[in-house]
Amino acid sequence: MKCPSCGEDNDKVVDSRASDEGSAIRRRRECMKCEYRFTTFERIEESACIIEKRSGSREPFDRNKIINGVLAAAKNRPIDGYRIEELAFEIEESIRELPQPVSSQDVGAKVLDWLRDMDDISYLRFSSVYKEFSDVSDFEREVDLLSQPDTDKLNEVN
């Protein structure tokens, strides 16, 4: 496992425990070079979920795309990386139960629902890319949606 801080591939496991109701193993690791601590998850590899993109092309689900997209939206915001990994895992688990292929819009909507509850700024950043904002009025519309009670937000699909 490469250290996310220095890239060294020599680490030690300092803690190991069951996670996600026993379907994964969470490991705390420490880099032997820089002593940076990081978390990894070990899971059973299951058959890939298929995502249908807006263009009509299909590709296997990639949890890292969710993680990287949310990390970019949440840059310098108070959202823990561990929570983002949990989100990606939860979304993957939920789409495994859906008929395949699953649309990328459905995946993006799940991410937006989570971000709406976590952090308004991250939500707006992610929305601007996901919904392909073209001008300031798109931001204004989303800010108005954020100001509405939750029941109204659930009825708005874009």
What is the tens place of the pLDDT at every residue in 38-78? 999 888 766 678 999 999 999 999 999 999 999 999 999 99
Quick one: tokens of 19?
Answer: 């996670």
Phi then psi for 54, rounded to 5 degrees? -55, -35
pLDDT tens, residue by residue, 12-41: 999 999 987 788 899 999 999 999 999 998
Answer for the pair 25, 11: CB distance below 8 angstroms, yes or no: no
Residues with Cβ within 8 Å of 142's Cβ and at least 6 positions away in sequence, in order, are: 123, 124, 127, 128, 131, 133
Structure pTM? Answer: 0.62
pLDDT tens, residue by residue, 114-141: 999 999 999 999 999 988 899 999 989 9
Domains of the chain: which residue ranges?
A: 8-44, 48-155
Q: What's CA 38's distance to the chain center, in Å? A: 18
* Residue closest to 88 by CA, chosen among 60, 110, 121, 58: 110
